[in-house]
């Protein structure tokens, strides 16, 4: 059991070191089968996303970009995780991940 735990932690550390987005890879593993995570892809329209995920918890307009961002809350076995879906000026998905829209904006400015 101890060796398995070390192996899993090693893989997670390597994968997270190679990631271009500052996210926790454990969130992806935990929530990967949620429809919002599994089915939403870059280029989808806002209507397609809302058909899959339903209405967002909140929606913000991104100043200066004509785009918008939807915040969702994923629930699994009593645990909750935030997830954002970002739309460009034409209303198509251009990014998504395990942050809030606000945190995504902060991360984008930091890069």
Enclosing domain of residue 34:
21-110
> For residues 101 and 72, what is the distance between their CA atoms, to the nearest angstrom?
9
Residue 81 has a pLDDT of 95
Strand (E) or helix (H) holding 107: helix 101-110
Question: Going along 16-63, which residue ranges are E strands?
Answer: 58-62
> How much is the average pLDDT of 52-78?
92
d(CA 87, CA 48): 12
Answer whether residue 5 is part of any domain: no
Q: Is the pLDDT of residue 86 over 70?
A: yes
pLDDT, the chain, mean: 84
Provide the token pair at 62: 């991104």
| pLDDT over threshold 70, residue 107 | yes
User: Would you say residue 33 lies in a domain?
Assistant: yes
What CA–CA distance (Å, rounded) separates 22 from 16? 8
Indicate the pTM of the whole model: 0.76
pLDDT tens-digit map of 1-37: 555 655 555 555 544 444 445 567 888 888 999 999 9
Please state the domain count of the chain: 1
Rounded Cα distance between 68 and 86, Å, is: 6
């Amino acid at each position: 059991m101890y060796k398995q735990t070390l192996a899993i932690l090693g893989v997670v550390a390597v994968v997270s070191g190679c990631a271009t987005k500052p996210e926790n890879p454990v969130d992806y593993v935990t929530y990967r089968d949620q429809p919002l995570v599994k089915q939403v892809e870059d280029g989808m329209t806002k209507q397609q996303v809302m058909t899959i995920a339903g209405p967002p918890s909140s929606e913000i307009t991104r100043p200066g970009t004509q785009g918008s961002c939807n915040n969702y809350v994923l629930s699994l076995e009593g645990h909750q995780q935030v997830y954002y879906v970002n739309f460009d000026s034409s209303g198509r998905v251009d990014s998504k991940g395990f942050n809030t829209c606000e945190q995504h904006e902060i991360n984008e400015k930091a890069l």
